[in-house]
Structure 1
Amino acid sequence: MAAGKRRELFTILETSADTERDSASDSEESPLNLSADVKWFEIPFRKPDSDEEEELEEDEEEEEDEFKSVAAAETADTASYLAGGGCNIILVTDNGMKHEEESEDSYYASANNCSETTSNDSDIDFSDLEEEPTDFIGQFDDLGEDCTSPDFWGEPDQIISIEPFTAISGPQHALGDEADTRDYFRLLFPDSLFEHMVEQTNNYALYRQRRSGKVDAHWHPTDLREMRAYIGLNILMGINQLPDYGMYWATDIFIGNAGFKKTMTARRFEKLNQNIHLCDRESEPAQGEPGYDGLYKIRPLLDVVENTMWEAYAPNRCLTVDEGAIAVKGRFSPTQYMPSKPIKKGLKVWMLCDSKSGYCHRASIYVGRAGEDTGAVGYKVVTSLVKGLEGKHHHIFMDSLFTSVPLVQRLLQDGLYACGTTQPSRRGFPEALRLRNVGKLAQGEFFQCQRGNIVATVTRDTKVVSCLSSNCAPGIVGICPSRGRDWAVIGVPRPLPLLLYQENMRGVDLCDQLRECYQVGRPCKKWWRYFLWFYINLCIVNAYIILRESRGGAAPPGFSGKQFTQRHFRIRLAQQLIGDYQGARGMERAARKRHADSPVEYGHRLERMSERSRRCRNCTNKGLRHESVFGCKICNVHLCRGGCFSEFHK
């Protein structure tokens, strides 16, 4: 391209060490949450001095060379940080855009068969249910501005207006200094929910007996104390993990747990596992009937927990929207394959979390997209999760699955700012910033376009990344310390949108880390059970965050350790839920624990149980494997001939 044509399209930028900002002072006025070791340089936008197109080609080449030499002298102090790539801000004209150093051997000259999305740095792989429709016309008509118009994007020299965040944030409760772990857990999982679980569990046990036509002799109705103890034992199982839950009641002193045996028997725990329920199965509408709800089995839990999580903690300024995963064993229709996540296959949940603490404000279960849905999944997910935050000037950070120009426009209209990576093939993304037009970028080099508060950026970090933001001024670069191939610390220039994204996109990941440390519940054959344990686990994590922030990191009264961690919180919570409960153990053993000296007087005798041998219950409790056709019909267990009969009845 002739030099005269290039001068119309590009502006050489000035970068001076005098424009370096003090990160300490900026952190007080900007919603960045960035570390103090980032050095800032503001790159002012400079327009061409003349737009005349009919000058001699030779004169323009001389002027351009002279201008470059001056710019090179001014940037001598920061050349080591910019890594030789420079930071270019693009000017969009009717002629389009090309890279300033473009040649015939461009980035796509040897790879013109590559798609635009394969080269983009995306951490989301779209499944069939997540494919974003190519035609959104009609859904975003209320936004007022057509982002696909050629005149939509302009030069990045406009002023960014960011309203200060003044809303109330943080824990919202009236607990005093004497409050303990159970009090904080009750904020999110109230006693009314335990009472509902007790009622529906008893109803479901009767429903199963009526459906089978048999009476379960080993079942008796549960109560509130027993249900709390059952949840407490499940919490402890996440800390003291064993391959099978029957091992907690083993007689082996090295495996068995005395606290579990003291609380309830293994049979009673198994019966509670079989019958625990949250809804009335008799009134459940079938698929296709009016009022059908795919989440009917956990709807009572969702109605309570979603409100308590939202009310117990007012959202802070920076929030993260991302997907979480629930590991499952079995085949369920809502199961998703997510190769970019630590849990490759599981149930997907959209989450709105605090960027610093990891507190989860909202969680939305993803069970597949309806057939008549023609809109973008990301657009609807984000707008539903941030509902209620309108006009409070929060900063929402998202990944490339959600971020789009219509979504950023919508959030701006609602008084919310956004920042996130995006796909360059998305509707409304500047054509001039598409990878085929930008060409090959050096590390740290970037181009930008602007429309009001919305700034589109394409840059190269380890890969080419495209960003959309409404809370970042254009032309600001941060020099971040990084390690090269020889582990030497070097300065890597990154534009402000990418730095904000990297520092504030960790909220959901932090919440997942806290959840995955100590799982609650065990694998099962019913999909809705995974969501029950997920929300109980989520309430524990949120309660721990509330306690930590409410007490300023101080431990609750009675704790003598140095640091009160999540593990201590869970153990203390489980102990308080169990309390001194031992009722179920005594009631179950009363049926078979008669007179220890002479069990025969009470009808217990050793006799042939069946033609097929089965495992001896007494040997199984010892961790041994012996089989017998004999046993006790009163207790309905197989026992070895010999000492197992009398030993079992003691």
Structure 2
Amino acid sequence: MMEALGRRVVAVVGGPMRAHDNMLVGERAPVGEERHQLWVTNLCAQQSSLTTGKPYVPGSMEELETFFEINILMGIKPLPSYRDYWSSGADLHDSYVSQLMSKRRFEWFLTNLHLNDNSKMPQRWGTNYDKIYKLRPFLERISHNLQKALNPNDCMAVDESMIKFKGRYSIKQYLPKKPIKRGYKEWVLADKSGYAWKLDIYIGKKDNAVEKKLGERVVKDLTENIKGKDHRVYFDNYFSSPDLLRDLKENKIHACGTVNPSRKSLPKLKSDKEMKRGDYDWATSNTGLSVMKWKDKRSVHLLSNFHDPIQTTEFTRKEKYGNEIKVSCPIALSDYNANMNCVDKFDQLKGVYETDRKSRKLWHKIFWYFIDATVVNAFIIHKEMKWPKTTLKDFIREIARDLVAPALVASRGKKRSLSSHLQFNKKKSNVPKSVRLESSSHQPERSTRRRCAACSSKKQQIRTDWMCSVCKVPLCLGKRKTCFQDYHAS
């Protein structure tokens, strides 16, 4: 099932292509989501060719998958510049990447990669102008597919995520308290496993007017598709308000979060001077909301629509001189601290091997962010399904091998040998399934007499003069032997 996830990642991004690869200006876009991305890329290249007069070779699906594989792989073994992978210097040159695609072809895809038709882009001063028009079809498709791929855990959290960007763009934000202070702001709804179930780019002010109750609107939009399912959603004081929690309760969504004490409609509780460490005060409303104030070194205010403010728990705190004491607190606070880190888990996984592609195109950063998010979500699905255990690095390598399998098989007969891409073991050859089961390029050829990789064992050694021309694995071939067919069938 591992190799299927590689195809699943491509399906989320744009899907496998099945029909014509070369589309001309003026032709209708192919029906279905899966061909849109390659069609727009070739369309952009042709529009550019009509302007500059330079000829171009349209991209194919195999090349597009190889292009994605190279970018994903660059996240695992980064170099200062993408050109270094094709460097003539032995200390920088990467033989694996450089043999998959030429540097010029890689640059062609970087230049012409598009997700929407620029010729139909609304004017900046028009009423239908969209700041992220170039990304809009891609974002809508990938958002739909991420929600369809996995049913979320009953525990979820809403938080901000930042896409690092230091250029000039109207949707760029500055958050001084975040680890990434400058960049694009992303609203994320993630579940307990860290799966980013819904993402939404913040594009700034609308009609140059400050949006009131922005936090409430964001939470309502993100939780639109989980109404009536009794999910528990956690968020911080930027989003929470009595009106929001009341609305979520009416839609059967349990919600809890810290709250700013200056919010409207909140009751007055004990002052800080009247409380010592471990004390707490609370109040409830006739609509089922409860507000709690707990004193640690500082005061913490909580708002919940499903917790009982009377229930408490204990945890350990260290005093000034190192001695430990037991401090009581509302169980709502303990629950909040245990479940608020859903988006942080997603960010942590995404930041390990992210595709940090430098580009002058303003939307590229957002595009590669969503590619990384798709890979991380696929890895979380793999873990949730309890398939064979693997690390994130090996999982990404497996996806990359699956995407590039057609290119590796097609390289048979060229100067570069497939054997340099395969993992060999003295005892038994290890050929990835994505290569072993690819198309009909595998043909028998004569070799030195070696043990058959399919039927030979330590107790009964069976040798053969034949091997696969692609896999370079010895296999029996004869009237009563089906080792060659069996090896490439499963």
Mean Cα displacement is larger for which, 269-278 or 396-405?
269-278
Distance in structure 1 (CA, Å) of the matches to 2:266 and 2:330: 18
Which residue in 1 is equivalent to 2:451? none
In the alignment, which residue of structure 2 is the partner of 1:457?
292
Per-residue deviation at 1:528?
1.1
Contact 2:193–2:380 at 8 Å: present in 1 too?
A: yes
Counterpart code for 2:202: Y
Over 3 Å counting, the alpha-carbon distance change for 1:414 and 1:485 in structure 2 is same
Q: Tell me how far apart the structure 1 counterparts of residues 211 and 165 of structure 2 sit (CA, whole Å).
A: 29
The aligned runs of 1:181-192 (5 Å cut-off) are 181-186=5-10, 188-189=12-13, 190-191=15-16
Name the structure 2 match of 1:572: 398
Amino acid at match of 1:520: T
SS in 2 for 1:289: coil
Counterpart CA distance in 2 for 1:209 and 1:481 is: 68
Match of 2:54 in 1: 216
- Per-residue CA deviation, residues 429-485 of structure 1 (Å, 9 max, x unaligned), is 11x12x7x4535322111101014211011122321111011210122211134445
Please report how far the alpha carbon of residue 402 of structure 1 lies from its aligned counterpart in structure 2 after TM superposition.
0.1
* Deviation (angstroms), 1:421: 0.4
Partner of 2:45: 205
Aligned residue pairs total 395
Task: Please report the TM-score for the alignment, with normalisation by the length of structure 1.
Answer: 0.58
CA deviations 1:77-136 (Å, max 9, x no partner) are xxxxxxxxxxxxxxxxxxxxxxxxxxxxxxxxxxxxxxxxxxxxxxxxxxxxxxxxxxxx
Deviation at residue 292 of structure 1 after TM alignment: 2.4
Shift of 1:488: 4.7
Residues in 2 aligned to 1:302 and 1:361: alpha-carbon distance in whole angstroms: 13
Where 1:297 maps in the other structure, the secondary structure is coil
Q: Residues of 1 paired with 2:232 and 2:118: CA distance?
A: 42
Counterpart contact for 2:166–2:182, Cα < 8 Å? no
Residue 577 of structure 1 deviates from its aligned partner by: 0.8
Instruction: State the alpha-carbon separation in 1 of the partners of residues 167 and 402 from structure 2.
Output: 33
- Normalised TM-score (structure 2): 0.76
Aligned residue number for residue 275 of structure 2: 441
- Say whether residues 1:347 and 2:181 are aligned partners: no
* TM-superposed deviation, 1:252: 2.3
Corresponding letter in the other structure for 1:500: D
Equivalence for 2:354: 519
Task: Give 2:250's aligned residue.
Answer: 413
Rounded to whole Å, the distance in 2 between the matches of 1:530 and 1:521 is 8
Match of 1:364 among 172, 176, 200: 200
SS in 2 for 1:296: coil
Higher relative contact order (CA 8 A, sep 6+): 1
Q: Distance in 2 between matches of 1:238 and 1:454?
A: 46
Q: Kindly provide the CA deviation profile for residues 327-361 of structure 1, in whole angstroms up to 9, marking residues without a partner as x.
A: 1132222111112211111110001000x201011
Which whole-Å deviations, capped at 9, do the CAs of 1:134-182 have from their partners, x for residues lacking one?
xxxxxxxxxxxxxxxxxxxxxxxxxxxxxxxxxxxxxxxxxxx576431
- Structure 1 residues 487 and 197: alpha-carbon distance in aligned structure 2, compared to 1, 3 A threshold: farther
The answer (yes or no) to whether the contact 2:162–2:183 under 8 Å persists in 1 is yes
Asked if the contact 1:358/1:511 (under 8 Å) is kept, the reply is yes
SS at match of 1:350: strand
Matched, 1:233 2:70: yes
Greater alpha carbon shift after TM alignment, 514-523 vs 499-508: 514-523
SS in 2 for 1:492: strand
Question: How far has the Cα of 1:279 moved from its partner?
Answer: 0.6
Q: Based on CA coordinates, which of the two structures has the bigger radius of gyration?
A: 1
1:458-497 maps to which residues of 2 (within 5 A)? 458-497=293-332
Q: How does 1:98-497 map to 2 (within 5 A)?
A: 180-186=4-10, 188-189=12-13, 190-191=15-16, 195-211=35-51, 214-217=52-55, 219-354=56-191, 356-370=192-206, 371-372=208-209, 374-430=211-267, 432-433=268-269, 437-452=271-286, 453-497=288-332
Pairing 1:9-28 to 2, within 5 Å after superposition: none
Counterpart residue type for residue 351 of structure 1: V
Q: CA deviation at 1:215?
A: 2.7
In the alignment, which residue of structure 1 is the partner of 2:373?
538
Structure 1 residues 242 and 195 mapped into 2: Cα distance closer, same or farther (>3 Å)? Answer: same
Alpha-carbon RMSD: 2.3
CA–CA distance in 2 between the matches of 1:196 and 1:523?
24
Classify 1:277/1:187 alpha carbon distance in 2 versus 1 (closer, same or farther; 3 Å). closer
Secondary structure of 1:388 counterpart: helix
Show structure 1 runs of 5+ residues with no match. 1-176, 556-562, 590-650
**What is the rounded CA distance, in whole Å, between the counterparts of 2:353 and 2:60 in structure 1?**
26
Render the CA deviation track for 1:239-272: whole Å, top value 9, x for unaligned: 1011111111112223211011111111211121
Which stretch shows the higher mean deviation, 285-294 or 232-241?
A: 285-294
Given that 1:325 and 1:346 are in contact with CA atoms closer than 8 Å, whether structure 2 keeps it comes out as yes
Q: Is the 8 A contact 1:181 1:569 kept in 2?
A: no
Following the alignment from structure 1 to structure 2, what is the Cα–Cα distance between the partners of residues 264 and 240? 17
Alignment CA distance shift 1:449-1:200 (3 Å): same
